Amino acid sequence: MEVVIVPDAAAGGELIAEAMAELLRRKPDALLGVATGSTPLPIYEALAAKVSAGAVDVSRARIAQLDEYVGLPAEHPESYRSVLRQQVLEPLGLEAKAFMGPDGTASDVRAACEAYDKALEDAGGVDLQLLGIGTDGHIGFNEPCSSLASRTRIKTLTEQTRIDNARFFDGDIEQVPHHVITQGIGTILDARHLVLLATGEGKAEAVAATVEGPVAAVCPASALQLHPHATVVVDEAAASELKLADYFRHTYANKPDWQGI
Ligand code: PGA
């Protein structure tokens, strides 16, 4: 995997947005896998700015959801469908038909999970999947010890993740659902390019385990080591536990200009 250390979150957002723009210039109907949480916001802002400036046309882009709470109505402000409508679709001027995601309100959750994996496959697969990382190393909502071969399925959130996410529910952990549907790690690894952004000191330990630790289900993000095209973009704070930071800086500074991430 490639590790890119950027000065701050805005620089990470710009770098990744440019990679997405570059993809859309090559493949205008690319399927972009998007993530929720605080981390990807600079990416969405930078991409929307490029659209406003006429630097990229996203009108044919397609958007795929990574994970969703189980049981929150689609119109609930914290359902990830609502969050992505507000943070991605509307700023990019995309309509609901450009969007695909699992049905968190389905009575048959298992069937909804299988249907989503099939829908992703039928859509030609995800071209570029954005990922955040949990303080416990989760990607999507694949919590520690998730099978590295897992497909889209229901998961039970750890207490730590519910604590981390309570900030989106008026600080009230009781309102944070216990269950989610998440693309599995195997599903995520099917995407053609994985781009993980991590910012802030709180992510430093998880980033070090992901990049420099063994491939191990206890750190789900370490599965990125198995992918032929995975890029981990970190700010200085999130890079602070990396032993090989100088090596990563050197290789990125000296790579061929045409290569991109
Ligand atoms: P965050 O969430 O970007 O809000 O820190 C990341 C994640 O849980 O995947």
DSSP string for 1-28: -EEEEESSHHHHHHHHHHHHHHHHHH-T
Total number of domains in the chain:
1
Confirm whether 57 is domain-assigned. Answer: yes
CA distance 44 to 40: 7
Asked if residue 245 belongs to a domain, the reply is no
Residues of the domain holding 194? 2-240
Q: Is residue 192 part of a domain?
A: yes
* 168: CATH: 3.40.50.1360
- Domain presence at residue 253: no
219 within a domain of the structure (yes/no): yes
pLDDT tens, residue by residue, 206-238: 999 999 999 999 999 999 999 999 999 999 999
**pLDDT, average across residues 131-151:** 96
> Which is the closest atom of ligand 1 to the Cα of 40?
3
3-state secondary structure of 154: strand
Q: What is the pTM of this model?
A: 0.97
Closest atom, ligand 1, to C-alpha of 139: 9
Q: Could you say which of 14, 18, 117, 136 is catalytic?
A: 136
Predicted confidence (pLDDT) per residue in 76-94, tens digit: 999 999 999 999 999 999 9
82 occurs within a structural domain: yes
Task: Write out the two tokens for 38.
Answer: 């605080």
Q: Where are the beta strands (DSSP E) in 10-137?
A: 31-34, 62-65, 67-69, 99-100, 128-131
**Assigned token pair, 83:** 């969050």
Is 143 considered catalytic here? yes
